[in-house]
Chains A and B, each alone.
Chain A
């Protein structure tokens, strides 16, 4: 059975990333929960409204124990949005979904006891927003560096690997294998063969481009508009090619 689409506008695929808090439980669980309670007591509401992911990679526990742990965390108002590193047999219906491919982010600093106390103080005693606290040491927040808007990958990107860089351009010195993907907020430059997927301008950048030295790609996308290998000009296969967006179509041209 075939259906005819009346609206042929392509569906835009866009990426969005959130920073999740990673909890890594340790055995025995009771001891770990006690330490968690201690942390929560010092900084009330630390977990409220934060996406939390549970890392159970090196944890030797059964499905029932994991369900119990999730319930225990729920009682503490810690809601688990996903589980990383779990064997498929550990998960099931009614449990948070398995997550993978996470990259380490900056450390979350639990508020120090004094800060927590300050937060509990009446509002009029706290310094107004934007005003520096009087004669105190400057608060250094762990801010990830935003100075560079491009990354360079010196290794080949292997099948099954993803390079995700929403902040800017990605340059890859090797090849991108079949079954690998590169997702960049800006342009993508590949100095080897592109055999996998390249998704440029993933955060809504229409001027992003894709460059590769040898085109064997499975899929290309710019700003959510995509093109599969079948839709690509056969003459461009194996060539050095660049892609850019004009209106709602992806343009391609061999690089001489």
Chain B
């Protein structure tokens, strides 16, 4: 049974695209057929992070408008043959996405894949609402700071009212993914602590991704961080998060705790 995940946040720049790519590659490494879908029509980025920008011929808008068939638009990853990308169009805007067209594409994708991961654009307008529309699960990407937390809260409200699941009276599974987390700064009070974010949003935590230069480096070479350097701290955190999404029980650790004795002094265990 295909599972549709939307990666969303409300706020821009918190790591939705990075997380989509990293979780997609992590799930694909479990030998489950995975597609990452870029809904950010007009401002596409997922192709760059996936390293597929030179291979885009057709995109989701072409498929919706019937100019191309779905298999023509799907790009298979060169490193992982269970990983695919459905790119967005860069020359159009979000109005090119129609509710019927998106529904058709999602139904089609569900027939071919185990995991469909939708990279939502920032904001709460058409692109974002259509990206979440058919989701079974949502990964809410949040940075430990107040504006990101409030925007996430807004998005959770929309997930509970504007999705097909919510409209048919079911509940959409929601998971918090805390990104760009720095344990030392959180302890100093420069950042919100994990407990604070969880208290405000009151949804379960699926992972804490440490602030790391490895993430930026991976983006720049065009590889999901879970493929670029599988032993880096953010890659390990994303791999764990993907296992939790797949239903496994994995103990939660605060990133940075393993750095050595010194950081242990600052480290604190998280109540998940």
Residues of A near any B CB (own CB < 8 A): 58, 60, 87, 89, 155-156, 158-161, 174-175, 177-180, 193, 195
Q: Is the CB–CB distance between A159 and B150 below 8 Å?
A: yes
New contact pairs (16) apart from A159-B151, A177-B153, A195-B200, CB-CB < 8 Å: A58-B99, A87-B95, A87-B125, A87-B126, A89-B95, A158-B153, A159-B150, A159-B154, A159-B157, A160-B157, A161-B157, A174-B202, A177-B150, A178-B146, A179-B153, A193-B200
Among the listed A156, A160, A174, which residue makes an inter-chain contact with B154, where contact means beta carbons less than 8 Å apart? Answer: A160
Q: Which residues of A contact B202 (CB under 8 A)?
A: 156, 174-175
Among A156, A158, A175, residue most surrounded by chain B Cβ atoms (within 10 Å): A158
Q: Is the CB–CB distance between B154 and A158 below 8 Å?
A: yes
Q: Which residues of B contact A174 (CB under 8 A)?
A: 202
Q: How many residues of B contact A (CB 8 A)?
A: 18
Q: Is the CB–CB distance between A60 and B98 below 8 Å?
A: yes
- Complex formed: what's the CA distance from A187 to B151 in Å? 28
Report 21 cross-chain contacts, Cβ distance below 8 Å, ordered by A residue.
A58-B99, A60-B98, A87-B126, A155-B160, A158-B156, A158-B157, A159-B150, A159-B151, A159-B153, A160-B154, A160-B158, A161-B157, A174-B202, A175-B202, A177-B150, A177-B153, A177-B200, A179-B154, A180-B157, A193-B199, A195-B200
Q: Which residues of B contact A195 (CB under 8 A)?
A: 200
Among A87, A89, A161, residue most surrounded by chain B Cβ atoms (within 10 Å): A161
Q: Which residues of B contact A60 (CB under 8 A)?
A: 98
Q: Mark B87-105, 1 if CB is under 8 A from A, else 0.
A: 0000000010011000000
Q: Is the CB–CB distance between B150 and A179 below 8 Å?
A: yes
A214 (CB) vs chain B CBs: closest residue? B199
- Complex formed: what's the CA distance from A90 to B188 in Å? 48
Q: Which residues of B contact A156 (CB under 8 A)?
A: 202
Among A155, A159, A174, residue most surrounded by chain B Cβ atoms (within 10 Å): A159
- Complex formed: what's the CA distance from A178 to B98 in Å? 32
Distance of B63 from chain A, by nearest CB (Å):
18
Among B124, B126, B151, B154, residue most surrounded by chain A Cβ atoms (within 10 Å): B154
Q: Which residues of B contact A155 (CB under 8 A)?
A: 160
Q: Which residues of A contact B200 (CB under 8 A)?
A: 175, 177, 193, 195
- Complex formed: what's the CA distance from A68 to B142 in Å? 44
Distance of A32 from chain B, by nearest CB (Å):
18
Distance of B264 from chain A, by nearest CB (Å):
30
Among B95, B150, B158, residue most surrounded by chain A Cβ atoms (within 10 Å): B150
Q: Which residues of A contact B151 (CB under 8 A)?
A: 159
Q: Which residues of A contact B160 (CB under 8 A)?
A: 155, 158
- Complex formed: what's the CA distance from A155 to B72 in Å? 44
- Complex formed: what's the CA distance from A100 to B254 in Å? 41
- Complex formed: what's the CA distance from A159 to B150 in Å? 6
- Complex formed: what's the CA distance from A156 to B126 in Å? 25
- Complex formed: what's the CA distance from A58 to B129 in Å? 13
Q: Which residues of B contact A180 (CB under 8 A)?
A: 153, 157
Q: Which residues of A contact B199 (CB under 8 A)?
A: 193
**B136-186 at interface with A (beta carbon < 8 Å):** 146, 150-151, 153-154, 156-158, 160
- Complex formed: what's the CA distance from A17 to B15 in Å? 41
Q: Which residues of B contact A179 (CB under 8 A)?
A: 150, 153-154
Distance of A33 from chain B, by nearest CB (Å):
23
Distance of A130 from chain B, by nearest CB (Å):
43
- Complex formed: what's the CA distance from A178 to B125 in Å? 20
Distance of A159 from chain B, by nearest CB (Å):
4
Distance of B245 from chain A, by nearest CB (Å):
22
A178-B150 contact given A87-B126, A156-B202, CB 8 Å threshold: yes
- Complex formed: what's the CA distance from A231 to B24 in Å? 49
- Complex formed: what's the CA distance from A106 to B154 in Å? 28
Distance of A193 from chain B, by nearest CB (Å):
8
Q: Which residues of A contact B156 (CB under 8 A)?
A: 158
Among B156, B157, B158, residue most surrounded by chain A Cβ atoms (within 10 Å): B157
